[in-house]
Amino acid sequence: MRNLFDIKRTKMIDELAFEHNPMSFGKTFLAFFILTLISSVATNSVTNSPIMINFIITEIKNGTFKSLTDTLIKFMESPYVSIPWWVILIQLFGGIFAIIAVTVYMKKFEKRKMRSIGLRRGAPLEILLGLLIGTLLIGVMFASTLFSGAISYTFAGIDLRILLFALGFGVLAFGEELLVRGFFMNMLARDIKPMAAILTSAILSAIAGFSVYNIPSFINTVLFGILLGIYVFKRGSIWGAVAIRFVWSFVGASILGTNVFDTYAILSVFTPKYNYNSLISGSSAHGFEAGLIMTVILAVAILLSLLLKTKKSEESFVKIDYFK
């Protein structure tokens, strides 16, 4: 069992460590915080602006608009503001800010090639494999909740706008994996053991994503991050992790109608009804990500991923004495 958790280094980590002067351990955390903040602020800015404008237009239509100041105060104090589908779509495409932030940082300040943070060759095959694994994972989750009676699904119809959401979830998945696994986790792995880098990046990214406000959801988000981190090291690139995250997010939200990673499911093919205690099946507020069923599935998936062999062509033969 000891060797099971001994994740091997890959060539992308070697390139980060030896091609140029490595960034200090502290600066890695600082850079991750700054890049996360930049992408988050940029996304929230382009997302909240249309929500506020839509709120003002609604006030005018309802005849309740008095003044801009009064309306803005009402907007800020409103416990719930109806969110149109296109606002969620804009939020998904906000993942492009993470892509831009990481790319600019790597090119401008680190002066490194993007392949050193996981954009390796063989992307088509890795993406295809990731899509298959992601489909299997979400398929097991669907079957487990359906046949156990934990969640029942009602067909709501097919709306072609979900194709736009597929593109949006793709951008978001790429942006998040590039930032969290590609940049942060791989940077950490130059100085600490791969498993420690996987755990650290999974926990901090879950906190940064505000999943901490619901403990079961936080735990499962961390487990999902651990699964993706292990997979990145086993395959030597982030392409497969991007595909797995995309399938989980898109199918979960736009097909099965569950909220994923705090992204609201507005347009979906099915509408879920949670029949059991939320601790087991999750809830309408947090989706099945907050349920014990997902915890068990992710735990098994992590164990299976640990049994995978590291991709031979990406395996590093460099011996590193990590600090304790």
Running along the chain, 324 residues long, what does each successive block of 10 average in pLDDT? 73 75 74 91 79 75 74 59 76 92 90 87 95 96 90 91 94 95 91 91 86 78 96 95 96 90 80 81 80 93 92 77 49
Across the chain, the runs of DSSP E, i.e. the strands, are: 151-155, 270-274
Is 243 contained in some domain?
yes
User: CA triplet 290, 52, 75: central angle to 5 degrees?
Assistant: 80
CA nearest 295: which of 175, 144, 180, 170? 144
Is 124 contained in some domain?
yes
Predicted local confidence at residue 324, as pLDDT? 40
Q: Could you give the CA distance from residue 273 to residue 260 in angstroms, rounded to a whole number?
A: 15
Question: What are the CA-CA distances from residue 46 to residues 42, 100, 208 (Å)?
Answer: 6, 15, 19
Predicted local confidence at residue 208, as pLDDT? 81
Predicted local confidence at residue 22, as pLDDT? 58
Is 324 contained in some domain?
no
Helix (H, G, I), strand (E, B) or coil at 248: helix
Question: What are the CA-CA distances from residue 296 to residues 146, 275, 289, 304 (Å)?
Answer: 15, 18, 11, 13
CA nearest 28: which of 244, 196, 232, 225? 196
Predicted local confidence at residue 274, as pLDDT? 86
Helix (H, G, I), strand (E, B) or coil at 260: strand
- Residues 89 and 166 sit within 8 Å (Cβ to Cβ): no
Domain that holds residue 174: 3-314
> How many folded domains does the chain comprise?
1
Is 119 contained in some domain?
yes
Is 257 contained in some domain?
yes
Is 320 contained in some domain?
no
The DSSP secondary-structure symbol of 283 reads: B
Question: What are the CA-CA distances from residue 15 to residues 120, 187, 242 (Å)?
Answer: 12, 10, 21
Q: Could you give the CA distance from residue 28 to residue 140 in angstroms, rounded to a whole number?
A: 36
Longest dimension (CA), the chain: 71
The model's pTM is: 0.89
- Residues 189 and 9 sit within 8 Å (Cβ to Cβ): yes
CA nearest 201: which of 118, 271, 128? 118
Bridge partners of 154, per DSSP, are: 271
Is 235 contained in some domain?
yes
Is 265 contained in some domain?
yes
